[in-house]
Structures are given as C-alpha cells and as structure tokens.
C-alpha cells in the first residue's frame, strides 16, 4: 500500500507495481496472437459444422417434400379413378365421393 509517511517505501512499491504491469503486459502481448488464432480456428470449425448440418437438414426436407408430392399425386389419381370410374377400377360400384359444391370440386370431396 501507498504510505505517505515513508516516501522511499512508496517509491519502491511504485517501481514493483510498474515492473509487474510491464511483465504482465509483455506476457499478454506474446500470448494474444496465439489465442486469437485458436479462437478463429474454433469459429471456423463451428461454422463448417453448422453448414454441414444445415445442408443435411435441407436435403432431408427436400426428400420428405418429394415423398409428399408423390403421395399427393397418388391420392389425386385415386380420387379421379373413384370419381370417374376409370376402366376396371370400381366400374360397377357407385362412387362414394361427391363434391361439396364449393367451387373447388376437384379438390374437396365428402363421403356419401
């Protein structure tokens, strides 16, 4: 601590604090570039991992969407076959589906 009664001791304390500061500052200046480099490597690794994960997610979503489109096409074909009695498919059976009458008959049906 700084003591006003003993200027010689105060001067020594000040010199010691100055040396400690300079030593710590020199150590920091030496270690900072390595620390920065390691931090950047970590950030780049995280971004690469995120990009790969995002790419996988988009691919899976695309595959699921393709499957849904195929199911939709199959359902539309079945509805058309049932509604119009395509050859050999429920030809003699009355159609259990009838339009709702909302102007969107080709998309919305109800069971009779």
Q: Pairing mode, if any, of strands 97-99 and 109-111? A: antiparallel
Element (H, E) at 39: helix 7-84
- pLDDT tens-digit map of 10-45: 899 999 999 999 999 999 999 999 999 999 999 999
Spatial CB neighbours of 111, under 8 Å, sequence gap ≥ 6: 96, 97
Residue 106 has pLDDT above 80, yes or no: no
Q: Where are the domains of the chain?
A: 7-111
Q: When comparing pLDDT for 86 and 57, which is higher?
A: 57
Question: pTM for the complete prediction?
Answer: 0.50
Q: Return the pLDDT at 112.
A: 44
Q: Tokens 């003591």: give the residue.
A: 3
Q: Which of 78, 101, 99 is nearest to 109 (CA)?
A: 99
CA atoms within 13 Å, Cβ hemisphere of 59: 6
Give Cα 67 distance to the centre of its chain: 22
Find the mean pLDDT for residues 79-88: 68
């Amino acid at each position: 601590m700084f003591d006003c009664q003993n200027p010689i001791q105060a001067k020594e304390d000040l010199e010691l604090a100055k040396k400690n500061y300079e030593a710590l500052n020199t150590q920091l200046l030496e270690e900072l570039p390595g620390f920065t480099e390691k931090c950047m490597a970590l950030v780049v690794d995280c971004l690469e991992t995120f990009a790969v994960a995002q790419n996988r997610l988009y691919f899976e979503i695309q595959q699921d969407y393709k499957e849904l489109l195929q199911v939709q096409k199959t359902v539309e074909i079945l509805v058309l076959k049932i509604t119009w009695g395509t050859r050999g498919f429920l030809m003699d059976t009355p159609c259990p589906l009838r339009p709702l009458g909302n102007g969107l008959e080709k998309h919305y049906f109800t069971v009779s």
